[in-house]
Amino acid sequence: MGKQKKEMKKALILISGGQDSTTCLAWAVKKFGRIHGITFDYGQKHRIELKSAKKIAKLMKIPLKVHKINLFKKFSQNSLTHDIKITGGKLPSTFVPGRNLIFLSIAAIYAKQMEITNIITGVCQTDYSGYPDCRDEFIKSLQKTLSLAMDHKFKIHTPLMWLTKSQTVDLIRKHGGLELLKYSHTCYKGVQPACGKCPACKLRLKGFKEAGITDPIKYA
């Protein structure tokens, strides 16, 4: 097996413990031979999602690195790391400026150390929350920037980029991972059963409804 082919089979996946990254993981295990995971403890109030990330990684036999970041609580005002009321609009209050930038940059540094070029993330532009760092244009630009930064040809895989939330449900079902979603966490309030009312819960519920499937997690 050539060096390139072997490297193609390794990947690093960003796992938040939510629906999207869990779906990406179910997709990734079919595509890559050896997968490593990374998750971030960044001061999110719903850090209960880290338990989900660990549980899902364990079930899928993926080694998971938990990395702590003190950046966002310090440098930005947003509803995920501060007690600020969740509001919508063009740029919702739940937008954490630079979050995917930092997550993917750290992932790339970690990947470089392991000689991995493939990075997988569950960002999505279709049914998205209005976060600029979920757009395809950003990811493509970042891929180039990361490669230039370290002289290492990264490929960022975004299997959900152009899927609706309903198609995301279909994708994990197709890969036999629906059962896994029972352990995932999405709710911004950080409660279990999920609140069902925050923007994250609403988006998740919408996808399941449109897919005609019952969400395996409990709602209040």
Can you give the binding site for its own copies, defined by CB under 8 A?
67-68, 70-72, 74-77, 91, 97-98, 100-102, 105-106, 108-110, 112-113, 132-133, 135, 137-138, 141-142, 144-146, 148-152
Tell the smallest beta-carbon distance from residue 114 to its own copies (Å): 9
Q: Is residue 152 within 8 Å of residue 130, measured between CB atoms?
A: no
Q: Whose Cβ is closer to its own copies: residue 65's or residue 197's?
A: 65
Q: Whose Cβ is closer to its own copies: residue 136's or residue 210's?
A: 136
Tell the smallest beta-carbon distance from residue 30 to its own copies (Å): 28
Q: Whose Cβ is closer to its own copies: residue 109's or residue 220's?
A: 109
Tell the smallest beta-carbon distance from residue 106 to its own copies (Å): 6
Output the CA torsion sign for 115, 60, 67, 83: positive
Tell the smallest beta-carbon distance from residue 146 to its own copies (Å): 7
Q: Is residue 104 within 8 Å of residue 142, measured between CB atoms?
A: yes
| Ordered DSSP codes for 124-185 | -STT--S-GGGSHHHHHHHHHHHHHHHT---EEE-TTTT--HHHHHHHHHHTT-GGGGGG--
